Chain A
Amino acid sequence: MLNAIGREIPESLGTLYSGHMQNPSGRAKGHIIKLSRPHEDKVLPSIKEAIKQGGLKDGMTISFHHHLREGDHVINMVLAAIDELGIKDLKLAPSSLNKCHDFLIDYIKKGVITSIETSGLRGKLGEEISRGLLEKPVIIRSHGGRPRAIESGELHIDVAFIGAPCADDRGNLNGVDGPSAFGSIGYAMVDAKFADTVVGITDNLRKYPIEPISIPSTLVDYIVCVDSIGDPEGIVSGATRLTRSPREILIAEMASKVILNSGLFEDGFSMQMGSGGAALAVIRHLKDAMKQKNIKASFGVGGISGPYAKMLEEGLVEKLLDVQCFDLQAVESLRNNKNHIEMDASYYANAYNKDCVVNNLDIAILSALEIDTNFNVNVMTGSDGTIMGASGGHSDAAYGAKLTIVTTPLARGRLPIVVDKVKTVITPGGSIDVVVTERGIAVNPKNKDLEQKLKDAKLPIYSIEELKQKAEKITGKPDPVESGDRIVGIVEYRDGSIIDVIRNMVD
C-alpha cells in the first residue's frame, strides 16, 4: 500500500503517513508514584545492584541518551552488567547510537537485545542491522517523535540509565560540570520524567544540592558511581573549527544569499543551524550581514557548537535554546551565560504539546544524504541501503520552520545526491523549501514568490530535475541497488505514522 508520498508500506505495520500531521487524542502516560524515605541511601555500589533493585527483567525496555556521543562508556557498562545477570530479550531505546556502539552486535547475537528503537544507527551495527541482524525491525524516530512516543505510552521505558557528568547523592543531575561534561542533557530529561525506574550513572558525585539542577532528584531512583562515564575526546571536541573546504564555503555562501534575499532576514529572526560544515559556515557570512544591517536574531536553536555560542557572546543572537552541545565552547557558554538555555527534546520538537520550539523557527539549515526530485530527504541510509545516519531533528525542524534550506554538495565522491527517488524518506518534500548545492539552487515549486525573489537576486536557480541531471552528468547515472524483501527498519514520521520502511541490504 502506498502512503501519501508514494512509498510502499505493508498496511499491517500501522498508520501510514497521510501527508498531514495526525490529530492526537487521549492523555499522556504518567510515571510511577513512589514513596521516598528520609535520608535513604540512593547511591548503590554497582550498576549490577541498580539493575537488580530496579527490577529489570527479561522482555523489558531500557533507555539511554546519546549526549556522550563517540565517547560513551555507559551503554557498554550497563549491558555488560545485564549480561552477567543473565537478563535477555530486552528492547533498547536510546535517543541515538554511534559508531562506538558496534559491540551491540554481540549482545544482539546473544539475545540480550532483541529490538531497538532509536533515532540513529551507524557503523558496523548499522550495516549488520541493514543485513537483517535483528528479528524485529528497528523503529526510527525523530528527536521530536521519540518524546511523543514516550509521553503517549507507545514507548514505555522500564529502566532509564542516565550518564550524568555531575550528580549528588539524592539524585539531582546535570551535564555541565565534571570531567565528562557534555553540556545540555536535553534528551535524557524526557526519559527521566516517564521511565519507571531512573538510574543516574556518574563519575563526579558532588555535595547535595548541585547547581544547576537539570534533572531533579524527584525523578531519580538510584545513583551509581563509576570511574568514567565516557572519554572526553569522544564526547565533545575542544572547539569546532569552521570548515576550510572551498566547496563547503561556496555552498555556505550561496545559502547565505538565499537567506539574505528570502524576506525573512529581519531584526528578530530565529534560526536552527545543522551541525555540518556548510551549515556552520553560513554563520560566518550571516554575521557580516547582521553587523552591517544591525540585525539581531531573537533566538538560535540546536545542536549548539562554538561558533554559534560566539554569536550569543557577541550579541548577534539574543538567546540560544540548546538540546545538545557539540564542543567545550558550547558547554562553557551554557554554564556561564544565562541567555544560553537548556531545553529537553520534548520542548524542542514534540508536536503533541501546546508548543514546541521548532514551531517558532524562521530558518532551518539542514543537510542530506540524498534528496529526490520531489524534495524528499534521506539522512538515514546510503544509496545501497546501509543504515548509516540518523533521523535527528531533521523532519521536526523542517516542518516548523518558515524557510527550510537543505545544503549539500551535488555529488559526494561519485554518488549523486540529487536523485530520482531517495532510498529512505526521513523528511517529506512538502517540508523542504530550497536545496542549495555548489552548482546551483532549486526551489520547491510551491514557493513561487521565493523563487522569483532569488531569481531577481541573480542566484543560479534551476529546477530540481535540472540539478539531478547536472549531478548525473558529473557522476554518470548509478545503477539502482535492489534491496531484499525483508523489512529491517520502520521509519516513523514525527506524528507516529509510517513514512517509510527500510528493507534489508543484499550483498
Chain B
Amino acid sequence: MYVPGNNPNMMADCMIYGADVILFDLEDSVPLQEKDAARYLVEYALRYLDFSNTEVAIRINGMDTPYWEEDIEKIIPEKPDMIRLPKAETKEQIKRLDEEISKIEEKSGIKVGNTKIMVSIESAKGLKNAYDIATASIRLQAIAIGGEDFTADLGVKKTREGNELLVARGVLVLAAKAAKVDVIDSVFSDVNDEEGFRMETEKAKAMGFTGKSVINPRQIPIVHDVFKPTEEEIQEAIKITQVIEEAKKKGSGVISLNGKMVDKPIVEKAERVLELAKALGLVEKVAAC
C-alpha cells in the first residue's frame, strides 16, 4: 500500500490494515519543496514506529532526478526491507543503484545485500529492457508496471478496461517469469469503484501477476481475496509436498502423484501456494519440504 512520505497522519496508522508491504513514497506524492521533509519523516518513521510483520519499502525518486542519492543515503541506515526505483529504463541504472546501496550498507554496518530492490517500469524503453533490468542485481525481487506514467509515455489515455496496457503487462510478466522475480500490477485510482478494482485484480492474477499495489486500505481485502489459493489448490499443494517428503526419505529419483510426474516447476508452484496460504492465514503451518 502506498503511503505518502509527507503525511504523518497516514504514516502513523498505515500498518494496521493488513497490507503485505507498506510503500512509503518519496516520489510522485511529495512536492519538490517538501522532498527534504519527507525524507526525514520516512527516516524517523522507520526508526520509531512499530511495523510488526509488515514489510516496509521506500519509493525513492527516479535516477533522472537529483534527489535519489540523498534518499538512499538517509533511508538505507534505517534498514527498510526494500527500495523501489521508479522509471527504471536500463540495467546500468540498476547496477549503479546496487553499488550505491552497497556503499551505504557497508558504511552503516549493515550486511551488504540486506536491502532488496524492486523496480517500476514506466516507459516503452524500460519495457524493452525489462529482462535485463530484472536480472541486473541479486537484490532485485520484483518488477512492477507504473500504469499512469506508462500510458503517458505511450501517448494514450488510461481506461478502466485497461486494453492500452495489455501488451505492456503481458511483456512485463514474461520478463519477470524468465528472470524468476515477482511481478506487481499497477494501482487503481478510483477507490470507490470496488467492482472495477476487483476486475482489474482478477485480470492481473490471470495474466500471472503475483501482487498488486493499492492506495487505500479498502482495497487490501479485495487483493487478498482474489489472490488467495482455492481450497483445492491448497490440498493439492499439501499432497505434493507430502509426496516429495516421502520420496526423499525413500531416496527415489522420480516422483509421481496421480499418474503425473511431479517435477521441479510443480514443486515450486506448490511451495508458493502454501506460502501464500500461510501468509493469508489459511493453513496452520506449511508441510515441511
Q: Which residue numbers of A lie inside 8 Å of B, CB to CB?
A: 246-247, 249-250, 438-439, 458, 473-474
Contacts and interface: CB of A to CB of B under 8 A. Distances in A.
B260 to A, nearest CB: 35
A250 B12 contact: no
20 contacts: A246-B13, A246-B17, A246-B216, A246-B217, A246-B218, A247-B13, A247-B16, A249-B217, A249-B218, A250-B16, A250-B17, A250-B217, A438-B13, A438-B16, A439-B16, A458-B281, A473-B50, A474-B12, A474-B49, A474-B50
Nearest to A411: B12
Nearest to B52: A439
A471 to B, nearest CB: 12
Contacts of B218: 246, 249
A473 B49 CA distance: 9
User: Which of B16, B49, B281 gathers the greatest number of chain A CB atoms within 10 Å?
Assistant: B16
Contacts of A249: 217-218
Contacts of A246: 13, 17, 216-218
Contacts of B281: 458
Nearest to B13: A247
What 6 A-B pairs are tightest by C-beta distance, nearest first? A246-B217, A438-B16, A439-B16, A247-B13, A246-B17, A250-B16
Nearest to A439: B16
A458 B284 CA distance: 11
A119 to B, nearest CB: 32
Nearest to A251: B16
Contacts of A474: 12, 49-50
Interface in B1-59: 12-13, 16-17, 49-50
Nearest to B18: A250
Contacts of B217: 246, 249-250
Contacts, number: 20
Interface string B250-282: 000000000000000000000000000000010
Interface of B: 12-13, 16-17, 49-50, 216-218, 281
A247 B16 CA distance: 8
A439 B13 CA distance: 10
A458 B283 CA distance: 12
Contacts of B12: 474
A249 B16 CA distance: 12
A458 B12 CA distance: 25
A473 B12 CA distance: 12
Contacts of B50: 473-474
Contacts of A458: 281
Nearest to B221: A253
B193 to A, nearest CB: 15
Nearest to B192: A244
A473 B50 CA distance: 9
Nearest to B50: A473
A247 B10 CA distance: 11
A281 to B, nearest CB: 13
A458 B17 CA distance: 16
Nearest to A246: B217
Contacts of A438: 13, 16
A454 to B, nearest CB: 15
A439 B218 CA distance: 17
Contacts of B16: 247, 250, 438-439
A249 B219 CA distance: 13
Nearest to A473: B50
A99 B190 CA distance: 38
A414 to B, nearest CB: 9
Nearest to B220: A246
B283 to A, nearest CB: 12
Nearest to A475: B12
A246 B16 CA distance: 10
A473 B51 CA distance: 12
A176 to B, nearest CB: 35
A489 to B, nearest CB: 33
Nearest to B191: A244
B268 to A, nearest CB: 29
A463 B213 CA distance: 35
A504 to B, nearest CB: 33
Contacts of B49: 474
Contacts of A473: 50
B195 to A, nearest CB: 17
A418 to B, nearest CB: 15
A474 B15 CA distance: 12
A249 B216 CA distance: 13
A246 B50 CA distance: 19
Given A249-B217, A474-B49, 11 more contacts: A246-B13, A246-B17, A246-B216, A246-B218, A247-B16, A249-B218, A250-B17, A250-B217, A458-B281, A473-B50, A474-B12
B41 to A, nearest CB: 16
A438 B16 CA distance: 7
Contacts of A250: 16-17, 217
A439 to B, nearest CB: 6
Contacts of A439: 16
Nearest to A440: B16
Nearest to A414: B12
B179 to A, nearest CB: 35
A299 B229 CA distance: 40
A473 B48 CA distance: 9
Nearest to A244: B218
User: Which of B13, B216, B281 gathers the greatest number of chain A CB atoms within 10 Å?
Assistant: B13
A438 B52 CA distance: 14
Nearest to B9: A413
A139 to B, nearest CB: 39
A298 B12 CA distance: 41
A474 B45 CA distance: 11
A458 B280 CA distance: 13
A473 B15 CA distance: 14
A246 B281 CA distance: 21
B191 to A, nearest CB: 10
A429 B159 CA distance: 55
User: Which of A246, A438, A473 gathers the greatest number of chain B CB atoms within 10 Å?
Assistant: A246
A246 to B, nearest CB: 4
A438 B14 CA distance: 11
B188 to A, nearest CB: 16
Nearest to B15: A439
B16 to A, nearest CB: 5
A467 to B, nearest CB: 14
Nearest to A247: B13
Nearest to B10: A246
A247 B9 CA distance: 12
B194 to A, nearest CB: 13
A474 to B, nearest CB: 7
